[in-house]
Amino acid sequence: MVSHKGLTRQKMDTSEHCKEVYAYFGLAMYRAQCVEQSIVQLLIFFDFFKENVPKFESRAKWEADFDRFDGALSKKTMGRLLGAIKEIGVLNADIENTLSLALQKRNWLAHAYFVDRALDFINEAGRKKMINELEDAIKLFNSVEDILNPISKSASIKYGLTDEILEKLQKEMYESAKGEL
């Protein structure tokens, strides 16, 4: 016979294990969004900057055009963003294939993961399996970031966005955000 305390501990352990699955899922989706934002950065450098730097007129016009471009990108799905970056042709086929794999993984996580893993979620072994596959997804998204970040970095330097300037902009953004709190 299981004591009342033992049953409570078992429920607590199960509850904590479920929370751990949710935490890994949250981290996986966060990393997927980071990949999505890296694609946005590439589009900004290889589409917006390429098109707009040569015809720069004023800061106000630049900011308005940038906000319009960024707003249009923010309404696109990750799949459409990936299509747009493929259309520009700045990435090689291997990187595009890796991005396609990341997109498939992201979409599965966002749209079907917990449905597909409903039976696994109700037992400890299944939850461990879920955590392992979520860790694998996180590793995939991290590896994609490791591929895309140097490309963005190279493009940013091409347009004069050095580490010093980026740090200054970041500091200004933090100060602005603090003021709004």
142-168 per-position pLDDT tens digit = 999 999 999 999 999 999 888 898 899
CA torsion, points 163, 168, 172, 175, in degrees to nearest 10? Answer: 100
**Residue 130 CB coordination number (10 Å):** 22
Per-residue H/E/C for 25-36: HHHHHHHHHHHH
**Residue 161 main-chain phi, psi, to 5 deg:** -90, 80
CA distances from 118 to 20, 25, 50 (A): 15, 14, 47
pLDDT band at 140 (very low <50, low <70, confident <90, very high): very high
pLDDT of residue 175: 87
- The amino acid that residue 24 corresponds to is Y
What pTM value is reported for the model? 0.86
For residue 4, pLDDT over 60 is answered with: no
- The per-residue pLDDT for range 53-86, each reduced to its tens digit, is 999 999 999 999 999 999 999 999 999 999 999 9
Mark 88-120 as b/e (b = at least 16 C-beta within 10 Å): eebbeeebeebbeebbebbeebeeebeeebeeb
The pLDDT > 70 percentage for the chain reads: 92
Residue pLDDT, tens place only, 89-131: 999 999 999 999 999 999 999 999 999 999 999 999 999 999 9
What is the band of 88 on the pLDDT scale with cuts at 50, 70, 90?
very high
**Phi, psi dihedral angles at 162 (to 5 degrees):** -75, 170
